[in-house]
Structure formats: C-alpha cells, structure tokens
Amino acid sequence: MSTGVAITGMGIISAIGNNVSENYSSLLEGRTGISHISKIDTVHKGSIMVGEIEFTNAELEAKLGLSADNNYSRTALLGAVAAKEAIADAKITNIKDYRTGLISSTSVGGMDMTEKFYYDYLESEDNRKYIEGHHAGDSTEKIAEQLGIDQSLVTTISTACSSAANAIMFGARLIKTGKLDRVIVGGADCLSKFTINGFKTLMILSDTYNTPFDENRKGLNLGEAAAYLVLESDFLVKKEKKKVLGYVVGYGNANDAYHQTASSENGDGATLAMEKALAVAGLEPKDIDYINAHGTATGNNDLSEGRALIRVFGKEIPEFSSTKAYTGHTLAAAGAIEAVYAILSLQNNIIYPNLNFKTPMKEFSLIPQTTLKEKALNTVLSNSLGFGGNCSTLIFSK
Amino acid sequence: MSDLKQELKEKIITQLNLEDIAIDEIADDDSLFGDGLGLDSIDALELIVMLDKDYGIKLTDPKEGKKIFESIEVMAKYIAEHRTK
Amino acid sequence: MEKVYINSIGSISAQKTFDNNDFLEEITTYEDNIIPVIEPNYKDFIPPAAARRMAKGIKMGVVASKIALEEANLTDIDAIITGTGMGCVRDSEKFVTAILDNNEQFLTPTSFIQSTHNTVAGQIALGIGCKGYNFTYVHSSVSFESALIDALMQLELKEAENILVGGVDESGEHTNAIHKLIQHIKPEKINSNELLNSKTAGAVFGEGANFFVLSNKKQDSSYAQVLGVKTFNTLAISDLLANLEAYLKENNLSATDIDVLISGNNGDIDYDNYYTELTNGPFKNTQQVVYKHLSGEFNTASAFGFWLGAKILKTQQIPSAVAINTIKTKGFEIVLLYNQYRGKNHSFTLLRRC
C-alpha cells in the first residue's frame, strides 16, 4: 500500500454543524439538517426541502471580521469559515513558512449575488461591488487572502458534484510530485435560486426527506456547505512533528461519456473511478472497510452507483452508507464534506447510518448500513459522481 | 385536432431547436424518441414544461411523459382530453 | 521525467485561425470595445442533432478540440482538461433571466444543464466516447494554465500519453453590459491597432477557444516542447522580476536565453505597467510579441498566446501584426509567455523549439 499524502487539519460548515465537532455529533445522533427553505428569497420557500446553514451572511461576515464594504458571496463566506478552521486545526501559525497552495472548488460561485442584483446592477451603483465576485475563482481568491496565501499556486476546479473530490485529488498530486509542501483543498457552495430551480427543472428534487438507496426514493435535497483539508508533505510532517489525522492514499477520476446529466445504467464511470483509486492506493477491494457512497437518492444515481459497487466489490461489499440524508447534496462541496466525514470515521472507528432507508431496491440486494456501527476501520472509500459524467473516488486510510 | 397536431409540431421544432427538420417531415405517428425524431430525456423535460405552460397539464413524474410523448398523435389526444387552458 | 510536446492545435478566435494552414496572414481589424470570434461553419464539424442545444462557447470548444484531435491524428485521448474563466455564460444568463422574468415558473432544464462549467469538457468526452480523466479549472486568468500544470504533471510522470488541453470562454451580453458599468471594459470603442497604446482604463473583451494535444511522444506534427508553467495568485509589481528570474533559474535559463517574449498586455492603463517591467527591463532587447489587440481580453486569452507561441516556434516566423520590435527574425528557440489580469493571477509559460 502506498503511504499517501498526510491530512493534518480539517474544517467544515454544513447544515448539521458549524465546525468539525458539531458535524460529528450530528452524525452520531442521527440529526438531519434538512428542512423547508426558510432563508432564501424564493417562491419555493416553505415547499422545497434543503440543508441550510443557520448563520446569515451578516453573522458570517462578523465571524470573519469583514468590513461593511466587503463583496463576499455566501460561497466565499462559507469557504473562508471552513478553511480557517482547517488551518487552526493543523496548528499552522505562519503559513508562509512552507510553499503552500490552495485548490478550491465551487459550482455556483457568486451566483447568489448575481441573481439578486442582476437587473439592479444596470439601474443603480449600490451593489456593483458584487459584479467582480461572480466568477468561480473569486471565492478561492478571497479564501487565499483570508489564509494569507500569496505568490503561490491558487486555483479552482468546477466539475459539478465531483468538484471537491477533484480538488483533493489535484492537491494530493501536487504534494506527491513535490510541487508544493502544503495544499489546502476543498470546496464551497451556497444555495441559490439558480441551483434550486435548476435541479427542479431536472425533476430530481424530492418533495420530502431524501432516502438514499431506497426503492421508493424520490430524489435529492440540495444543501449548502464548505469543507477544507490541509494536506502536507512527509517532509513537513516529520520536520514539524505534525499530528496526522489520516492519509489520502488513492484517487481516481473517470468520465461516464454517456449523457450530459444522467449516469450510465451500468455505472461505467464510477466503476472506472473506483478501480483507478484502488490501483493508485495499491489496494484490493477486500481491503476497503467502509464506503461513503455518493448516494444522492435520485433514481438514476443510486442505481448506477449501486451497480458500480457490485461490479467493483462483487459479493463482498463492505458496509456502505450515504450521508446525503444528513446534509443534503452540497454539490461542489460534497467531496470535501464527505472527506471530513471519512476521516472522522477512521479516527473513531464509526460507520454512520444511511438515514431514511426502508425498502431495498428491486434491481439488486444492496442494503446500506442503517444504524450507527462501531468497526475497526483502516480504509474508507468515498465516491463523488456528477454532471457531465464526472466520476471521482478517493480512498483514505489511518 | 389537426390544428393541435400542427401546433405541436411547430412548437417541438422551435422549442427543441430542431432547425434541420421541417413540419411536414414529422408524421403524426412517427415516434418522437429513439429511432424516430431522436428526442431524449432532456427533451422530455422540456415537453413537460410545455404541457404545463401552454395547456395547463401538470406532470409530476417524468416517467409519465414517456407514454404521452410517444407520437404527435398520442400527444395531441392526451392534450385534448386533459387540457385546462 | 518525460518531455512534453504540443502535438497539435485548434483555435477559434477573433482572427481567422481555425485553419491550421494559416498563420495570421489576413488580419481583421476591429473598432469596438467587445469583439466576437470569426466562426467556422460549425455544421462541418458537429452533427445537427448534437449541436441543437449547444451555445456558442460549447460549439467553439467542441470544434477547436476536433481540429486539434484531427491534426494529432487521434480519435481518442487519455484525458481532457479544460480551463474556462466564466464557463458557459450565455446559458447562465439565459437561466437567470428566465428565473427572474417568470418568477421561477415554467423553467426548462437545457440552459441550466449547459451552464455548468464542465459542460465543454463533458461534451467533448461524450462526443468521442472518452472515459478518461476529465477536469475543468475555473480560476480567472490562470484557468488555462492550471489545466496545463495538471496535464504536464501527468505526461511528465507517464501517467498518460496524450492529453487534450484547452481554454474556452464565450462572451455574454449581460456579463459584458455589467463589466462596462464597472469599467473593466473600456467605455470607448477603439481601433485594434491603437488598443495597446491606449491611455484609458479597462480592456476590450473578446472570446475564443484554443485547444491542444499535449503528449510525451513527439511526432511529425509537433509544434514545440512545453518546458513548464508557473502561476501566482498575487504578485506585487516590485516582486515580479525577482520571481521571474527565480523561475527561469529553476529551468536553468536566464533572461538572455529568451528569444521571444509574448506579453498579455491588453491596453488597460491601470495594469499594463506589469508588462513594461519586463519589456523595458531585462527583455528590452528581446524580440517582443503581443496578441490581445487581435484576440480581445478574456479569462483564457492566454491560451491564444500559447497558440501563438507554438505557431512561432514551428513556423519560425513572427507575423508582422504581433511583432512590436524587430530584434530577431529567425532562429527562435525559446519563448516565454507572461500574462496577468487586473494585477492578479499571473503566469509564466516556457516553450522550446522541438
């Protein structure tokens, strides 16, 4: 098995908690963050269910100590909060001591402000400061500034729902090839009318709580979140005697090349991604102790992913569960959210329940783990599958 | 009924950007999906919105669309029976 | 570490560049502050059924990639890596407008689906049935360079043999309108020949798609070798030269080794001083080349600069429209590209004749 890339810090904000420990408590207590939309100004308020974060933008701005003339989108605010927690967790005091980069990811970027002031921009000067904050790289630039990362490699990935998994993958490769000593990796996405209505047009939003891998699943709930990990080179870890939370040992990305939005029925892309990740890690399927599935609870995803799991693991599928019933589908951030959950699993030897599951799917006999389970865990595999056929797998170890 | 069929053909061509297809090339019983006109699941979602917007017919399950959008003939019959506007 | 070559190119820009036999022989001059691309006949490249949902940016990306794949004589590729600063803005604008104008009712999925940043990379994969690695970088003026860094890492370590890398951005009406309001676009229309000497703030916005097959196997069609790429999220003007010198040194080079400097200046008086640090400094007596008066400014305009560098090294010619001095007319071995946008997201790219 390859030694992998060390993870020395993590930070998260999601519908089930504003930091790592709150998220972990919710996971243990089976507490979902899904409820009717209450904070976004949309006609779907009170009807569509999503995973919202408690804090208002003003509260997040105060938390970050931003001045009133800031032009942070909610994506940037969430990202900065989570990334700062990760840096503190890794006990980094001077970020300039080592070559440090930032690889972030987002799908909506500053769309929350764009959709709010779209016509207003043309009429009044009041909110034009947000125009520059629209593009997907803007939240990343702001996070870099918050962390004090300058004159360095800072970039953004946007591959729909696999974005953050791909950011982690790219960061791990930058460390492995010696291009950087430390990379902050992750993703952020806030909720917006754009995504809520977009997914509604695809008719894949559930009108109730999402039920991953259930025969009667009705679709997904969207969520907003941000999560970041600190990846550090072996050299840095040794020199600074850093505490290692876990390792990224395997990663793989493949394309389904089947349909613009849907996954192939046989899960070709997901199968390839898992196989590549296992090969990079030098592991056999039997070495995987727990799978944090993508499991969005859409008819299409769970069937495709389930079939891919069977293709890769045969009859010996380890315990698996989707945590989307807790957080909702947090789009570009999902891969990072679930990476944090995977590390918490490894640290505590805990498998989270796949909430809301009742009836096995008729196409196969896969049954997710439905109760909290203690098990000695050495490796966790995490899937993130997205639009444009984008399929990614990460493997974490102790 | 034949007016409705004509109207549907026009709408399908414009809304789904079938620029290279003329109205008289679509027969009433041609299948719209697969080997026929070659429409796909994204088109089906577009047509579901058209049913709602133009004829006041609401479908909640995209699978229902499959049967309704079999051909212009079937579609027109369904709309004639269920339209609220 | 394997050497990496540019084996083929495909360019759609505000000049007629989609035919790889041409090299800026005919120049189209514009008198505007927003300039469009000169489009090929998309129908020659994309079947109508596939093209019917594609916005301009997707068509440009798909066609530029087809031209590149064809020239490299490939039907499949190991990976597709794209860069796009704004993604498919036209579809984004269309969907936002529909949401606002119809009060979130009667919305259809097509523009939402197409608005996703990785649409172009996904569509290319779908078109050629490529199940390999598929990434999209979306970081302002280093979107394309981020894709390059990723591709170089894989090719140098032999994790892949052929990778399609490209930069694509389309211009959108609302996006342009609001960028005029904040003077990122020049308020006045300006002749392309005057642009780079402009004394006003803002740029002339453009659009384009520039795709390349990068490979660790050199072939007859190869244009150049890619020595390396480096990006910086921030760089104070006072730190620019020191960082460039350090970068050249990492590649065992110094300023005097550079035969051609390709600068990304766009005629914005507030930010072009970064380039003059180089052109009036260590590269004062180096052959200098510019291109944004021909392409316009967009987040992946530097991919057009990369195209230009590749063409210069292969043809050993510098079209008069891009040369700003005549220090050297033959024997071009090493090209350095420098680009930044509004003082942020800087990149250095080094190419060598092969």
Put simply, whether B56 touches C (Cβ < 8 Å) is no
Cβ-Cβ contacts under 8 Å for A26 (sequence gap 6 or more) = A16, A17, A33, A326
A151 touches chain B (CB under 8 A): no
Taking the CA of residue C23 and the nearest CA in chain A, the distance in Å comes to: 32
Which chains share 3+ C-beta pairs under 8 angstroms with B?
Answer: A, C
Say which of B41, B48, B49 has its CB closest to residue A262.
B41
Distance from CA of B51 to the nearest CA of C (A): 10
Q: Residue A375 above 70 pLDDT? A: yes
Cα–Cα distance, A378 to B76 (Å, whole number): 60
User: Would you say C139 and A140 are in contact if contact means Cβ atoms under 8 Å apart?
Assistant: yes
Distance CA C295, CA C196 (A): 12
Chains B–C, number of C-beta pairs less than 8 Å apart: 23
Q: Which domains does chain A have, with CATH numbers?
A: 5-239 (3.40.47.10), 248-397 (3.40.47.10)
Most A CBs within 10 Å: which of B15, B39, B41, as the mutation test of the A interface?
A: B41
Backbone φ/ψ region at C71: left (φ over 0), alpha (ψ -120 to 50), beta: alpha
Whole-angstrom distance, CA of residue A359 vs CA of residue A380? 25
CB contact under 8 A, C142 and A257: no
Is the model's pLDDT at A260 over the cut of 90?
Answer: no
Torsion angle of alpha carbons A60, A65, A66, A68, nearest 10°? Answer: 90
What pLDDT is stored for residue B37 in this prediction? 86
- When pLDDT is cut at 50, 70 and 90, the band that residue C156 belongs to is very high
Choice among A86-90, A169-173, A224-228, B43-47 with the minimum mean pLDDT: B43-47
DSSP secondary structure of C156-194: HTTS-SEEEEEEEE---HHHHHHHHHTTSB-SS-EEHHH
Q: Give the DSSP letter string of C48-79.
A: HHHHTT--HHHHHHHHHHHHHHHHTT-S--SE
| CB contacts, 8 Å: B42 with chain A | 260-261
Q: How far is CA C194 from CA A115, C204, C291, in A?
A: 36, 12, 13
Q: What is the pLDDT of residue A182?
A: 98
Per-residue pLDDT of chain B (85 residues; tens, 9 = 90+): 789 999 999 999 999 998 888 999 999 999 999 878 889 889 999 999 999 999 999 998 888 888 899 999 999 999 999 999 8
Residue C93 has pLDDT above 70, yes or no: yes
- Mean pLDDT taken over chain A: 96
Give the model's pLDDT for residue A2. 59
Residue linked to tokens 């505000």: C14
CA-only gyration radius of chain A, Å: 20
Task: Please name the member of B16, B17, B53 whose beta carbon is closest to the beta carbon of C106.
Answer: B53
Chain C: residue nearest A252 by CA?
A: C133
Chain A closest CA to B45's CA: distance in Å? 7
User: DSSP secondary-structure letter at A370?
Assistant: -
CB A1 within 8 A of CB A397: yes
Nearest chain B residue to A262 by CA distance is: B41
Which of these ranges, A121-130, A228-237, A259-268, A379-388, has the smallest mean pLDDT?
A: A259-268
Smallest Cβ distance to A135: which of C97, C140, C157?
A: C140
CB contact under 8 A, B38 and C108: no
Q: What percent of chain C has pLDDT over 70?
A: 100
Q: Does residue A1 carry a pLDDT above 60?
A: no
Domain segments of chain B as ranges: 1-82
Q: Mean pLDDT, chain C, as a whole number?
A: 97
pLDDT above 90 as % of chain A: 96
The candidate with the shortest Cα–Cα distance to C145, out of B5, A137, A189, is A137
Size of interface A-C (CB pairs under 8 A): 194
Catalytic residue annotation of A: 161, 294, 329
- pTM (two decimals): 0.97
Q: Residue B2 has what pLDDT?
A: 83
Predicted confidence (pLDDT) per residue in C206-254, tens digit: 999 999 999 999 999 999 999 999 999 999 999 999 999 999 999 999 9
Q: Is the pLDDT of residue C317 over 70?
A: yes
A297: burial class by Cβ within 10 Å (0-12, 13-18, 19+)? buried
**How much is the pLDDT for B4?**
93
Which CATH number fits the domain B1-82, given the four candidates 1.10.1200.10, 1.10.357.10, 1.20.1630.10, 2.40.50.140? 1.10.1200.10
**Interface contact A157, partner C, CB < 8 A:** yes
Can you tell me the mean pLDDT for A273-300? 97
Taking phi over 0 as left and psi of -120 to 50 as alpha, with beta for the rest, B42 belongs to: alpha
Pick from A342, A320, A327, A328: nearest CA to A298 = A328
Helix (H) or strand (E) holding A103: strand A100-105
**How many other CB atoms are there within 10 angstroms of residue C176's CB atom?**
17
Cross-chain CB nearest to B45 (options C49, C106, C108): C108
Domains and CATH numbers, chain C: 4-215 (3.40.47.10), 225-353 (3.40.47.10)
Taking CB atoms and an 8 Å limit, are C137 and A257 in contact across chains?
no
